[in-house]
Amino acid sequence: MQLLHATAEAVPFAKTGGLADVLGALPAAQAALGHDVLVVHPWYARLAAVPPPLWIGDVPVPFDGGHVTVGVGTLEAGGVRFAFVGHPSFQRDALYGYPDDARRFALFARAVPAVAARLAFVPDVVHAHDWHAASIPALLRHAALLPPGFSGLPSVLTVHNAQYQGWADAADVVAWGRLPGKLAGPLALHGKGNLLHAGLRTADRVTTVSPTYARELLQPAVAYGLEHAFADLGPRLVGILNGLDLAAFDPAADAALAATFDAGDLTGKLVCHAALSRELGLDPNRPLLGVVSRLADQKGIDLLIDALPAVLEQGWNLALLGAGDPALEAALAVAFAAHPDRLGGRIGYDEGLARRIYGGADALVVPSRFEPCGLAQLIAMRYGTLPVARATGGLLDTIDDGRTGFLFATAEAPALAAALARARLVRDDHDRWRGMQVAAMAARFDWARAAHAYDDLYRDLVAGPRSTPTASGTAVGGPALDQDPAS
Ligand code: ADP
Ligand code: GLC
């Protein structure tokens, strides 16, 4: 099949989190299954592409009542074609965090069909990821001025994180996309434009990145206002667990590590532990907890901060790498300064240090309030670093409590401290700890399994009727939008 992915991030070109890991690996796994895969991605100022994409010209994109010109770049990597959408609004220091983010990514989404057409690529299925690309299903169903072959193409929307939704004015969402004005209301959520909601209402299938998160998305606390939209999807919402790029994350061949190792010989891990402790100025004779995380409310780092007295009391050191919320950054800096030989790390984004933490720590703390899948715990397990994690979303689906890691139920510091205490006891039992390390390293979450699961979904979609009417026949469901006379 010809598959088109639209994403705001993909390794190695741009990354702020696991979305980039997924789009750096899934398309290649699909190409390995024989598919012809195109990934469309913004052309950011700081695109990590060496050599840079080949610029092949400009295309006009219908947008906001007129046309906007975008540049098109292209390159091939890992058997996958990439197309980059160039526009001045992507020439900024950071990927996100600007007041016009919704507009910028609505333009990206609107550009995707035109850019694919410029490459003479008409897909069988369009697969959009997260809010940045979520308006594409609505465009394929309802927008004017699509290139030949794109109108009505089957669409899949994968929700990697439902907290980020792309809020805007309802009128803007339809104006930007050059969608029928009558859709402003049905696509909106509580009267506000919401790009993720627009995608949920119009995609043929919605997937998310673990089965447990798919179930949790029916709860208001996890769905952030989208719980009814998820519930209305019924069987059209599916959880497909992410994989891990086992070649990109391999402790036996990771050049960032002080020494390599594998499950058969963990001596190199001791070298990594000593080197990391030295690098961060930590007492090397203590067991070491690691954290590699965005510092966002989702990640529960405040629980860890509250549990720091217990961490110290239990005898752990802590190596933390993360950036994000300034209040959390400041609280961590204070803690580091108060216990320089026990707590250390760096506020920032650092791929090398992340790998040294995965390699050198004994356990990785992942106290997430919610976690759609989580890549950090998968990387940690591959590096023989046992996750101590909250039993939610993909953490629950990937960690086997007491065998490959340690889970705790409630998002509260005492529960985290108790799980750390359990881990600490096992850590003192060398053989048991080693047994868990070996089990964690053997738990292979490869991408081939997920690629096959997406295959089944696509085939079903291409073969059958794409939408099944919702039980309630609600006026805002995807099928009902189809019947909108304005479309
Ligand atoms: P999320 O996508 O919600 O941030 P994941 O666990 O799915 O969480 O993926 C996070 C990815 O980003 C992992 O590859 C992790 O190693 C990486 N990462 C997170 N924070 C940092 C950081 N400060 N420096 C380097 N890598 C980071
Ligand atoms: C999101 C989620 C994370 C997931 C990643 C890749 O960033 O927060 O849990 O692993 O997407 O799907």
Same domain as 416, residue 361: yes
367 and 427 both lie in a single domain: yes
> CA 168, CA 280: separation in Å to the nearest integer?
43
Instruction: Tell me if 17 CB under 6 Å of ligand 2.
Output: yes
The model's pLDDT over 209-231, given as tens digits with 9 standing for 90+, comes to 999 999 999 999 999 999 999 99
Q: What's the N-to-C CA distance of the chain in angstroms? A: 28
Does residue 107 form part of some domain? yes
Among 189, 192, 190, 185, smallest CA distance to 169 is for 192
Residues 109 and 237 in one domain: yes
By most ligand atoms within 8 Å of CB, the mutation choice from 241, 250, 294 for ligand 1 is: 294
349 lines ligand 1 (CB under 6 A): yes
Q: Does one domain contain both 277 and 129? A: no
Helix, strand, or coil (residue 210)? coil
Q: For residues 146 and 136, what is the distance between their CA atoms, to the nearest angstrom? A: 11
- Ligand 2 atom showing the smallest separation from residue 393 Cα: 9
pLDDT of residue 438: 98
Same domain, 359 and 233: no
Q: Where are the alpha helices (DSSP H) in 307-446?
A: 308-313, 326-338, 351-360, 376-382, 393-398, 413-427, 430-442
* Whether residue 185 is found in the same domain as residue 74: yes
Q: Please give the distance of CA 69 from its chain centroid, rounded to a whole number.
A: 29
Domain annotation covers residue 260: no
In a domain, 405, yes or no: yes
- Do residues 61 and 99 share a domain? yes
**pLDDT value for 475:** 29
Q: Which domain covers residue 271, as residue numbers?
A: 267-442
Judge if 322 and 471 occupy the same domain: no
Residues 420 and 454 in one domain: no
322 lines ligand 1 (CB under 6 A): yes
Q: Is 130 in the pocket of ligand 2 (CB under 6 A)?
A: no
- Look at residue 261 and tell me if it is in a domain: no
Decide if 255 is inside a domain.
Answer: no
Other beta carbons within 10 Å of 428: 10
| Nearest Cα to Cα of residue 359 among 375, 341, 379, 373 | 379
With contact defined as beta carbons under 8 Å apart, do 133 and 112 qualify? yes
Q: Report the number of distinct structural domains present in the chain.
A: 2
Probe target for ligand 1 pocket from 375, 377, 445, with the most ligand atoms within 8 Å of CB = 375
- For residue 140, CA distances in Å to 85, 187, 395, 410 come to 18, 14, 34, 42
pLDDT at position 479 is 42
152 Ramachandran zone, left/alpha/beta (phi>0; psi -120 to 50):
left
pLDDT, tens digit, 9 for 90 and up, residues 365-395: 999 999 999 999 999 999 999 999 999 999 9
In a domain, 481, yes or no: no
Are 366 and 424 found together in one domain? Answer: yes
454 shares a domain with 409: no
Same structural domain, 431 and 460: no
Query: For residue 19, which ligand has an atom nearest its CA?
Result: 2
> Which protein residue has the closest C-alpha to ligand 1 atom 17?
17
- Domain of 406, CATH number, reads 3.40.50.2000
Residue to probe by mutation, ligand 1, list 246, 292, 364, most atoms within 8 Å of CB = 292
Q: How far is the CA of 432 from the centre of ligand 2 (A)?
A: 31
**Is 318 inside any structural domain?**
yes
The per-residue pLDDT for range 35-77, each reduced to its tens digit, is: 999 999 999 999 999 999 999 999 999 999 999 999 999 999 9
Tell me which residue of 273, 252, 245 sits closest to 433, measured CA to CA: 273
